[in-house]
Structure 1
């Protein structure tokens, strides 16, 4: 079992090599190694070590995706394996019904979808399509992202595509430091369910909404396709990788950044601000009433 000092040093090596902004990585490295040399971490228990180092990293760089994580159940320490990581992600998505928690048909023919994760665009496309099939005949739609904590950028593109008329819209670019490449994300040409066009769409947010959930809210808002109702979101925009440091501790390192074509920026550090600011627990009622007013005839 490595010492605390060895574990923290390895985490810093990972951050220095992979963090999306190299200059910020260097600042974090200097600040935490100074504390490391002073012995500040020597006597901390595992969970406390993770909390403390994460806090010190975020003092320098307040990236909500960045930090150390403790797991009570021992994990294998192996070289980074993208296929293994993707398989684990897909297993979690399957167990969570690819993020779609609930459908409801609200009064006034308003559709409601409770989305807790943003699924993979491959396996998840069928479930996303099934959800959109259920709401295809509604007069307005509410997407509840108040408990959505992240997921796949590709899956977010799939969700977004249902609200655009075709595959001609360039949504965003994601730059990856590890490969020094930029990938473009465009709306999808072929979808397994009807597109949802020319009807009111509402996105519910809370202070918990994070990462992929923010991506969906931000993109639809930026293209003026949905009204965001609720609270400002957490503000985590950087795609992230996880590296196992020892049997119990891993480090999450954001290695990429997305740029919206509509805004030229993203929501990192600031979150997605609602169009209608209300407490999260009132957001559904407010959105529903707003939808009923807009669709009254």
Structure 2
């Protein structure tokens, strides 16, 4: 096991070269190096080291994606094996049914999709299409993101695409620090499932909804395509890479930032604020009440 000093040094190298805000990365580096020199991390075991360093990251730069994580599963820190955590994420998606926990038809012909992860657009296409096919003939749809802990920006755009009538909607952009480019995300022309463009959509959120789940909620809300019901979300808007800095330690580095085409900003640090605020455990009940109301004249 490398020393704590080596682990922290490796994490700082990843942050300074990859963090989406270089000026904030410099502040983080200076602060953590000062604590390192003062012996703040000496003698800490792996999990405690990760918790302590993460807390210090957050004090200096409250970006919820900027973390040092302990993992029981051994990781390869070899540069040749570093893919930013992509392979591990794909394996997780396969183990969790591409993030789709359940699809159900509720009373009143309301469809329900309980989504726990946002799959990649390629890996998840078939499952996403199947879920949308199962709710295709419902009168309204509830997209439950209360336990959604994140995922792929491309997958978020694919999910959102199903709720618009065509491929002419510019959803958002993502600015990547390296290679200093901006990617545009539009609704897709070809979808794996039927469009759901002409009926009400309710998105359920909680304090646990994070990252890619927030992307879907924020995008649909900003474009006026869904009513968000529940609690304000965690507030993590920066696409992130994971890098092993020791066999059991990962550093997560936000390398990009989302820019919504309607608001010109994102949900970082503030979360997605619901249209109908209720405790998360009451969100489904409230959404079903809203779905049962006659449309306004």
Which TM-score applies when normalising by structure 1? 0.97
Q: Is residue 205 of structure 1 aligned with residue 205 of structure 2?
A: yes
Once residues 157 and 294 of structure 1 are traced to their aligned partners in structure 2, the CA distance between those partners, rounded to angstroms, is 30
Once residues 22 and 210 of structure 2 are traced to their aligned partners in structure 1, the CA distance between those partners, rounded to angstroms, is 24
- Look up the match of 1:133: 133
Task: Write the mapping of 1:154-165 to structure 2, written as runs, cut at 5 A.
Answer: 154-165=154-165
- Look up the match of 1:46: 46
- Look up the match of 1:16: 16
CA 1:121–1:221: 2 relative to 1, 3 Å: same
CA displacement at 1:91 relative to structure 2: 1.7
The Cα RMSD (Å) is: 1.4
CA displacement at 1:161 relative to structure 2: 0.5
Q: Deviations over 1:188-218 (max 9, x none)?
A: 0011222102211100000000000000000
CA 1:123–1:51: 2 relative to 1, 3 Å: same
Once residues 91 and 155 of structure 2 are traced to their aligned partners in structure 1, the CA distance between those partners, rounded to angstroms, is 15
Which TM-score applies when normalising by structure 2? 0.97
CA displacement at 1:290 relative to structure 2: 1.0
Secondary structure of 1:270's partner? coil
Counterpart contact for 1:139–1:295, Cα < 8 Å: no
Q: Unpaired runs of 5+ in structure 2? A: none
Once residues 41 and 26 of structure 2 are traced to their aligned partners in structure 1, the CA distance between those partners, rounded to angstroms, is 20
- Look up the match of 1:274: 274
CA displacement at 1:88 relative to structure 2: 2.5
CA displacement at 1:80 relative to structure 2: 5.8
Secondary structure of 1:102's partner? strand
Q: Is residue 65 of structure 1 aligned with residue 61 of structure 2?
A: no
- Look up the match of 1:76: 76
Q: Deviations over 1:156-209 (max 9, x none)?
A: 111000111111111111111121111111100011222102211100000000
Once residues 72 and 289 of structure 2 are traced to their aligned partners in structure 1, the CA distance between those partners, rounded to angstroms, is 45
CA 1:80–1:210: 2 relative to 1, 3 Å: farther
- Look up the match of 2:169: 169
CA displacement at 1:151 relative to structure 2: 0.6
Once residues 181 and 81 of structure 2 are traced to their aligned partners in structure 1, the CA distance between those partners, rounded to angstroms, is 19
CA displacement at 1:96 relative to structure 2: 0.7
Secondary structure of 1:69's partner? strand
CA 1:82–1:219: 2 relative to 1, 3 Å: farther
CA displacement at 1:84 relative to structure 2: 7.9
- Look up the match of 1:237: 237
Secondary structure of 1:204's partner? strand
- Of 82-91 and 126-135, deviating more is 82-91
CA displacement at 1:74 relative to structure 2: 2.5
Once residues 171 and 228 of structure 2 are traced to their aligned partners in structure 1, the CA distance between those partners, rounded to angstroms, is 18
Once residues 294 and 82 of structure 1 are traced to their aligned partners in structure 2, the CA distance between those partners, rounded to angstroms, is 53
Once residues 207 and 95 of structure 2 are traced to their aligned partners in structure 1, the CA distance between those partners, rounded to angstroms, is 25
CA 1:147–1:53: 2 relative to 1, 3 Å: same
Secondary structure of 2:293's partner? helix
Counterpart contact for 1:140–1:295, Cα < 8 Å: no
Once residues 11 and 202 of structure 2 are traced to their aligned partners in structure 1, the CA distance between those partners, rounded to angstroms, is 40
Counterpart contact for 1:80–1:243, Cα < 8 Å: no
